Each structure stands twice: as C-alpha cells, then as structure tokens.
Structure 1
Amino acid sequence: MTSDSSGAGLLSRRSREVLSTDGTRLFVEEYGLGDDAPLLVFSHGWACQGRFWRPQIEHFANTHRVVVYDQRGHGWSDRGHTPFSSSVLGDDLEAVLRAVVTSSRKALVTGHSMGGMSVMGWAAEHPESVPLLSRGAVLASTGPSQLVSRSTLIRSPRRFRASLERAFAAGLAMAGPEMLDTRFNQRLVKYGTMGPHASADVVAECSEIVLRCPPAVRGMWGRVLATIDVSKGVDSLAVPTTVIVGSADRLTPEVHSTDLAERLQQRGQLHDFVVLPQIGHMINMEAPNDFNEAVARLDAATEKG
C-alpha cells in the first residue's frame, strides 16, 4: 500500500496513526496550521486515498488545519479483520475525529462519495458525537442508498434493467485484476467518474489514484456499496450541511443529492445545495474552485457560530 500527497509537499505536513474501534490502524495526515486554527477533516471515496484532496489541501492549508485520512484498506491504512460495512466507515471517522478535534475547535467534515457515506454512517452510529465533534458537514457526490439502481453508468431498455443491475452489483464486488495505468484504463476512469470536459491532467491524476487501489480492497468495499443504506444518518446529521454534486455524475447522479437536500431542508439543516453543470463524480478535482468556494461558505458560516 502506498500513500503520496504529491503536489502538497511544500506545505507543513504531519502524519500520525489513529486506532479505530476494532484496533485497525488508520493513516492520518495533517497540513497547515496548528491546533488553534479552524479544523477541516476530509473523507475520501471508494478506491481513492488521502491525496485525492490535494486541491483542497493546497487551498486551505495556509489558513486552516487540514486533516485527511486513508479509508481502511486504502493507501497506508490497514484493512483490519472486521468485515467491511457502513458501520465500520462510521467507526473509523469517529476515531479520526476523536483524535484530531480539540476542546476549542470542532471539525467541518467533508465526505466525497463513499466518504459522504462515512459521514452519514458516522451520524447513524454515533449521533451523540455529531454536535460534539463537528460544526458542519459537506456531502459531495454521494447518496445514502440505491447506488446500483440509480446509477446511470449503464443505460438499457427497462426489460433488461433488472438483470444488468444484478450484474453491476456483482461486478462491484469482484476483486478483479490489477489495473495498470494505461490510456485505455484512463478512458474507463474518465467515463465512469468525470464529466465530458475534464482536462487531461485531471484524468491522469484521478486515474493514477484510482488504479492504485488494491483489487481485493476495491472488491470488498464494492460489495458493501452494492447494498449500502445509511439513510438513518441523514436525520442524525444535526449540523449545517452543504450538498454538492455535478450534473454529469454517473456514479451518484444528481437525484441522490436532490433527495438529500430536501430531507436536510425539512429538518432545517441544509446550508447550501450546489449543482455544477457538466461536472462528473470527481467534483473536487474537476471543479476545485467551485468546490472550495462551497466549503469556504459553510466554513465561514459555522466559524461565526
């Protein structure tokens, strides 16, 4: 396993290990200012790692304390011995937050894709911790359930849909072979995770991250995502929350975010709902300025209290 936050190497960087509830070792990196600075915690998605947040690290580390971690099995974090599940995602985020939150600084927690499910899973498993450890949340390119049936990766006539959904779910759970960083595989990554106008540099960087994920880990977490349901956590997310999605997201289409925004609005917790036209699933990499501005608006609002 490897982790490399290249591109952020000139910033102040500290690494540490955090033990999750079951003793699994999680790799955590901190950038920027010290404990007195506003705290941002970022949770990445399936087949990624902490370096996925490079544009956010580079943008916020001069004014904030920025914390990223590798989800278990990804990057430098151990797989552990507990079967992967949504509750494990929540427990791991709880452990990271307990380790980095201070008495004077709660975290603004941002989760992308499976990282957003980590935030919702955390709220479901640890509802009492939400107002204690966090001042706000960003749910980016994510959904709480029905990931297979709502995905638009595969378009087909209705009579074939059920069988294709079963095949898609089975494909998520397959370990598969090592995927080399070839031009063909980069095209696959772009089709599945980016919008039509993603730059070659963004495609290359995202592909290098995704294709580095160990196949067994990709399959083990894929099996979880095929049936995940962290809907309960939406109602426990009792802090101001921003929802952000790209209109060209095929993995977690806009309908997920619309539903999340409506549900949060009903509970008085929606701070902002942002839809970026022609942007795909890797929203923070593909549209970093818009993404960072959305995070900054929530950060400013919650820092004021």
Structure 2
Amino acid sequence: MEQSTIQLKTRRGEFRAAVDGDATAPALILGNSLGTTLEMWEPQVAAFAGRFRLIRYDTRGHGGSPATPGPYSFDDLGQDVLAVLDALDVERAAFCGISMGGHTGLWLGIHAGRRFNAIAVCNSAARIGTEQAWRERAAMVRAGGAAGMRALADSAPGRWFSDGFAQTHPAVVQRAQGWIAGIAPEGYAACCEALAVSDLRGGLGRIATPTLLLAGALDPVTTVADAQAMQAGIPGARLAVVPASHLSNLEAPAAFDQAVLDFLASA
C-alpha cells in the first residue's frame, strides 16, 4: 500500500507518523506492538480512515521514531502519544493499541483519560510476562545487535501467529519478520525494560474512559484470561474475542475491524 509518512516534530522528539482520512473527522490514534512499525496497521487503514482522522506512529525506539538510550518507561511511551496529539493539534481522540501499544492505552486511561473518548486495548494485559524474561531479552538484543534482532525475527511467528495462519499466509509472516529485524536493538531493548517493570493492575479501577478489551482466542502471549482479568478491574469495560493469535489485526482483520468500529461507534 502506498502511503505518505511524515517526520512529526513534537516536544518529545521527532516521530515518524502517517495521517489519513478527513482532517475534520474525529481522531483515532493507533499504537503498534513491540517489534513492529506503523505499517502493521495497513489492513485497518481503509476501514478506519473512512470514519476517522487516522493517526499512526512508530513507538519510541521503533522505525523512524527516536531510538533514545534506555531504559524507557510507560510514562515515556504514554507521554509520547500525548505529544504526537499535541503536535497535530488534537485535543481529544480515540486510542487503539496492540500488545505493548495496548498496555500504553491502559496507561493513558489511568493517567490521561480526559484526552480520550474511547480506548481499545488489544492483545494486551495489565502485566505482560515477567521482569526476568524481559530483562533477559533486552540483554540478548543489546549483546547481539542486528544479529540478535534477526534471531528474534526467526522466532517471532510462533508468538505472533497461529500455526495455521503462518502456513497459509507466508507473505504476511515474512513481512512482519522484516519489521522486527529492522528495529534498532537499543530501542527494542529499552521497550523490553519498560515492559519488565510495568504493572498497571492496581490502577485499572481509575479508568473511566469507555474501554474495549480485545483478545485473540489463540493468543499464547496475552490470553483471553488476561483480558477477562482486566475487564473485572475496569468499570464498564467490554470484551471481544476474535479468532486469531497475538497480532490479531493481521490474522483476523475483518473480525478485528468490526469489533473495534462497533465499539467506537457506541462509545
């Protein structure tokens, strides 16, 4: 898909972004998962930009956004979202994020809910993985550099896609592997360190913004049970389950789009 990306100057650095749709429409900003770029959202652009001013951006440490020295925190990643919105003169928006991006959405709901009309937290959890595992991964990619990122790319399909999808859609899998292989090792490691220490379970009850929790029925990383646990903690949160693994927007785009758009329309 052809797209025009911009280098957006913000108070927190220059972020690579793409803006589609009617400039006067309500804004929707999308947050990518660890090891991907804003291109991960290409299957959603046509459907989402038809209703929203659609904003995609590369998370700090990823793609064309700043790979500043780590460690990062979700205070950093959440403030980056607000800085992108401010640079585009967007006072209020809806937010949708996957995995690390979904965790950023939780942070925004807890700490900056007044800026958001609705938040979709997809394939995520209030606590993702263990501190030790994230620190080990960060150390591995720092030590291994580009070769370490390629090794991660080799192992990514088993975490990101169901076996059946990987076998029948090799081009999608290979493109996703290309994203992770191209991430700056320091940026990736610094985001791992943010995930290592972030536990938002205690703040879920403070989220007053309408929230969707979308899970993949086949996701081994952030499970349906993780989404149900968040739903129990967030007042009025909705739950949707789609037939996919971790990168559900790529594996089941029609079901993903329908769930998110239905939620945004009602919120």
TM-score calculated relative to the size of structure 2: 0.87
How far did 1:137 drift? 0.7
Paired residue type of 1:80: T
Paired residue type of 1:77: S
Q: Write the distance in 2 (CA, Å) between the matches of 1:134 and 1:19.
A: 19
Q: Write the distance in 2 (CA, Å) between the matches of 1:113 and 1:189.
A: 14
1:138 counterpart = 2:105: no
Query: Per-residue displacement from partner, 1:243-282 (whole Å, max 9, x unpaired)?
Result: 1111221222222111112222xx22x1x311123x1111
Contact 2:122–2:213 under 8 Å retained in 1? yes
How far did 1:196 drift? 2.0
1:191 counterpart = 2:158: yes
| Other-structure match for 2:145 | 177
Q: Write the distance in 1 (CA, Å) between the matches of 2:28 and 2:71.
A: 28
Query: Per-residue displacement from partner, 1:139-197 (whole Å, max 9, x unpaired)?
Result: 0011111522xxxxxxxxxxxxxxxx84x334322223324998x87652211211122
Q: Give the number of the structure whose residues are more often helix, by fraction.
A: 2
1:90 counterpart = 2:78: yes
| Other-structure match for 1:158 | none
How far did 1:293 drift? 0.5
Which structure 2 residue ranges, 5 or more long, are not aligned? none
TM-score calculated relative to the size of structure 1: 0.77
Matching residue within 8, 13, 20 for 1:17 = 8
| Other-structure match for 1:108 | 94
Q: Write the distance in 1 (CA, Å) between the matches of 2:101 and 2:159.
A: 17
How far did 1:228 drift? 1.7
Query: 231-240 or 242-251, which moves further after superposition?
Result: 231-240
Q: Secondary structure at the match of 2:15?
A: strand
- The alignment of Structure 1 onto Structure 2 pairs a total of residues equal to 261
1:26 counterpart = 2:8: no
| Aligned positions of 1:231-242 closer than 5 A | 231-242=201-212
Contact 1:143–1:260 under 8 Å retained in 2? yes
| Other-structure match for 2:252 | 287
RMSD, matched Cα? 2.4
1:222 counterpart = 2:189: no
Contact 2:128–2:222 under 8 Å retained in 1? no
| Other-structure match for 1:118 | 104
Matching residue within 203, 207, 211 for 2:177 = 207
Q: 1:185 to 1:17 in 2, by over 3 A?
A: closer
Q: Write the distance in 2 (CA, Å) between the matches of 1:102 and 1:136.
A: 14
Q: Write the distance in 2 (CA, Å) between the matches of 1:185 and 1:90.
A: 25
Which 4+ runs in 1 deviate beyond 6 A? none
Larger Rg belongs to: 1
How far did 1:98 drift? 2.6
Paired residue type of 1:196: D
Q: Write the distance in 1 (CA, Å) between the matches of 2:85 and 2:224.
A: 28
| Other-structure match for 2:240 | 274
Contact 2:69–2:190 under 8 Å retained in 1? no
Paired residue type of 2:116: S
